[in-house]
Structure 1
Amino acid sequence: MRNHHSIIGQQRKQSQALVSIYIDLQNAKSIKHLGSLLLEFAKFQGILIEAKVYYNSLCPDQVSAKDKLQNFGFKCIDVPCPLKNSADNQLMVDCLDDIYSNRPPDTVILVSGDGDFVNLVRNLKDRGKKVIGFAEPGSLKQKLKEIVGSDFHFLDELPNLVASKTQHQTEKVPCHLTYNEAVEYLIEAIKTALSKGKGTGLGFINNLMLQLFPKYQGVTFVCQHQGKTFSRFSELVKAAVKDGKIRLQDQQLFVIEADRLSA
């Protein structure tokens, strides 16, 4: 684990799209072996804000699979109903609710091959959302594949997809960031932590920045706007506090803009 007084970080800004994952566990049980890769793939698409798994606790095999995904940080939503498509229906309702929320995703990653989701994908695309689909070969409905289009993949492609993205990102990673870029990442990480009810201590926020922003990975120093540089995360925080970008209270970080809105 990195000490928050040590090197700035190591990661990206790629597209600043907000990304949400929705998994139909009944239809894609093999995802339990690929959870960490799916999260990694999602982070290359933008900022991951939700990762939800829908399962039925009346089915022992789904419970076992959800336990593994929960360990990776997925939010697992139990729909213990014997009626057909009950979990699918809950997934669709939640996805549309998220689309109309205060922080809607720009990109939706749907893990299912079920044809019941054709209309959901159509609705998402009609609202300008990008949809990326993953499914198991034996459980894929052709209509779903067709409506997702070129952004459809089989789950067993995940290792190669992540490997190619990682190689491409590594080739482009800079050794430094501008001060404004670093502060932008810092503020976004604080907002993300607060939206999930997490603490905003320096160490946690630095690690969250590493998870959210690939351009931040590999960075050895930040170029400050006055021409100076610093290589410690605590120095970045101190500068952002001094400039009125964020607030530090009881070793927790807060966004000044959010303070004003809640006042």
Structure 2
Amino acid sequence: MAHANQSSNRQTSQLQIKVGIYCDFQNVYLSEEQARFLLAFAITKGSLISRKVYYNSLFENQASAKENLQRIGFKCEDVTCSLKNSADNQLKSDLIDDVYNNQSPDIVILASGDGDFANVVQFLQEKDINVIIFAQRGNVKQKLKERANEFHFVDELSQLVNYKTQPLNYNEAVECLIECTKTSLSQGKPTGFGYIDKLMRQRCHRYQGFSSIFMSNGKNFKNFSQFIDVAVRDGKVQKQNQELFLVELEKLTA
């Protein structure tokens, strides 16, 4: 019974990936439809803990869009300053503050193509926070694009959301499992079930937990451990004491 309780607690903790949205509205103008898709995208990544838009009401088009964004749950921060990058600086400051409080996100979704955010992205990644960038076509700095853990254009949002709702088959999930295990080992990170499950949620677009994986018979897995047991039985990975190892590495050291 104690083992069952421990497994249940572990699965619960795996679901608590926190996601924050931070939008530089002066750089990425989101329509209400795009903003709704962005929310839907964020929810596929985990639990949404913040949704902030930074705008300047001195610009009429930004002020008029605020009402629509507030109506669907965004917190709109009005930075009424004529100085260059004032809204950007406020966004950076708030983001860093959020990282140091008890509600630090595990994934940051940043809507901006401004290269000034490249150093902030690096700071977040050094804190083991994954950064997903959304930018407008023709308005993104290459250094920011290259530094992101995941990059998309805002006009791809509808396709991304629809894509993420498609089932993930077992073979695709195993490829993701191997890649995340390889990443953890190369970085000296743990390869426990909880950590790998969390990493798969961050890195694999359509993986939303063990229940999103479907086997060839159309059934999905009852828990993450069952998925791992099948992958071990198929010779895809090895496990020992709830830690994962790559089969090819084991063969090389044999």
Identify the TM-score tier after normalising by the shorter chain. Answer: 0.5 to 0.7
For 2:82, the equivalent position in structure 1 comes to 82
The amino acid of 2:49's aligned partner reads I
Alpha carbons 1:14, 1:44 under 8 Å: kept: no
C-alpha separation in 2, matches of 1:66 and 1:58: 12
For 1:160, the equivalent position in structure 2 comes to 159
> Are residue 92 (structure 1) and residue 89 (structure 2) matched?
no
C-alpha separation in 1, matches of 2:134 and 2:14: 22
For 2:147, the equivalent position in structure 1 comes to 147
Alpha carbons 1:14, 1:46 under 8 Å: kept: no
C-alpha separation in 1, matches of 2:97 and 2:13: 27
Task: Assess, with a 3 A threshold, how the Cα gap between structure 1 residues 141 and 32 changes in structure 2: closer, same or farther.
Answer: farther
Please state how far the C-alpha of 1:67 moved relative to its aligned partner: 1.8
Task: Assess, with a 3 A threshold, how the Cα gap between structure 1 residues 165 and 122 changes in structure 2: closer, same or farther.
Answer: same
For 2:131, the equivalent position in structure 1 comes to 131
Task: Assess, with a 3 A threshold, how the Cα gap between structure 1 residues 14 and 69 changes in structure 2: closer, same or farther.
Answer: farther
Q: TM-score, normalised by structure 1?
A: 0.58
C-alpha separation in 1, matches of 2:125 and 2:55: 25
C-alpha separation in 2, matches of 1:31 and 1:21: 15
Please state how far the C-alpha of 1:154 moved relative to its aligned partner: 0.4
C-alpha separation in 1, matches of 2:71 and 2:159: 23
Task: Assess, with a 3 A threshold, how the Cα gap between structure 1 residues 60 and 14 changes in structure 2: closer, same or farther.
Answer: farther
The amino acid of 1:163's aligned partner reads N
Superposition misfits of 4+ residues, deviation over 6 angstroms:
none
Please state how far the C-alpha of 1:168 moved relative to its aligned partner: 2.6
C-alpha separation in 2, matches of 1:91 and 1:168: 36
- 1:29 alignment partner, SS class: coil
C-alpha separation in 2, matches of 1:112 and 1:18: 20
Please state how far the C-alpha of 1:33 moved relative to its aligned partner: 3.3
For 2:120, the equivalent position in structure 1 comes to 120
The amino acid of 2:33's aligned partner reads H
C-alpha separation in 1, matches of 2:136 and 2:130: 20
C-alpha separation in 1, matches of 2:68 and 2:13: 29
Please state how far the C-alpha of 1:71 moved relative to its aligned partner: 1.2
Alignment of 1:23-38 (within 5 A): 23-38=23-38
Report the count of equivalent residues: 165
Please state how far the C-alpha of 1:15 moved relative to its aligned partner: 4.2
Alpha carbons 1:24, 1:91 under 8 Å: kept: yes
Alpha carbons 1:15, 1:45 under 8 Å: kept: no
The amino acid of 1:141's aligned partner reads K
- 2:146 alignment partner, SS class: helix
- 1:139 alignment partner, SS class: coil
Stretches of structure 2 lacking an aligned partner (at least 5 in a row): 1-11, 169-208, 212-254
For 2:101, the equivalent position in structure 1 comes to 101
Q: TM-score, normalised by structure 2?
A: 0.60
For 1:70, the equivalent position in structure 2 comes to 70
Alpha carbons 1:30, 1:136 under 8 Å: kept: no
C-alpha separation in 2, matches of 1:50 and 1:95: 10
Please state how far the C-alpha of 1:14 moved relative to its aligned partner: 7.4
Task: Assess, with a 3 A threshold, how the Cα gap between structure 1 residues 154 and 105 changes in structure 2: closer, same or farther.
Answer: same
- 2:116 alignment partner, SS class: helix
The amino acid of 1:140's aligned partner reads V
Instruction: Compare relative contact order (CA 8 Å, sep 6+) and give the higher one, 1 or 2.
Output: 1
Please state how far the C-alpha of 1:130 moved relative to its aligned partner: 0.6
Please state how far the C-alpha of 1:54 moved relative to its aligned partner: 0.2
Which has the larger displacement, 24-33 or 52-61?
A: 24-33
C-alpha separation in 2, matches of 1:32 and 1:83: 27
Task: Assess, with a 3 A threshold, how the Cα gap between structure 1 residues 133 and 31 changes in structure 2: closer, same or farther.
Answer: farther
Show CA shifts across 1:195-236 (max 9, x none).
xxxxxxxxxxxxxxxxxx9x7xxxxxxxxxxxxxxxxxxxxx
C-alpha separation in 1, matches of 2:57 and 2:21: 20
Please state how far the C-alpha of 1:167 moved relative to its aligned partner: 2.3
Please state how far the C-alpha of 1:31 moved relative to its aligned partner: 4.4
